[in-house]
Amino acid sequence: MILYAQTSGTLKTNSSAWAAIPGLQFELPEGVGLLALLILNVPNPYAQGNDFPGGNFAIAVNGTVQPPFACFTYDSASPQSTGRKPTTLVVAVPLIDGKQKVQAMWSNVRGSTVIIDSPATLSAVS
């Protein structure tokens, strides 16, 4: 099984709480005793702000954000340029006797605005 979702256009968040990344969701099929490997790839994100800006990325399964998450921040409080910060997260999820909704999530770091302006992907392999 391979599942795949991709963003399009420019997306932004300034949420300090986990928020869904539009377009990056799908349902996992049943599969008791199997694992699905979930891969969130955000190849060109950046953040704007004046307090060491950055972004957090996670994956929620049936509405519950999984413990592993990915994060990037800048080394400068007010970066002179918003260099790209490729970010990838890999999470293994047990399949169950029923479908599960998978959703990519994101939030800001220290009040910054996180921006995705090139395709990001969410994939599952089992």
Q: What percent of the chain has pLDDT over 70?
A: 100
**CA separation, residue 124 to residues 28, 58, 106 (Å):** 8, 14, 18
SS3 108: strand
Dihedral sign of CA atoms 88, 93, 98, 101 in order: negative
pTM flag (> 0.75): yes
Give me the mean pLDDT over the 75-88 stretch. Answer: 90
Residue ranges per structural domain of the chain? 2-125
Give me the mean pLDDT over the 106-115 stretch. Answer: 98
Looking at 3.40.640.10, 3.10.20.30, 2.60.120.760, 3.40.30.10, the CATH number of the domain 2-125 comes to 2.60.120.760
Give me the mean pLDDT over the 83-89 stretch. Answer: 95
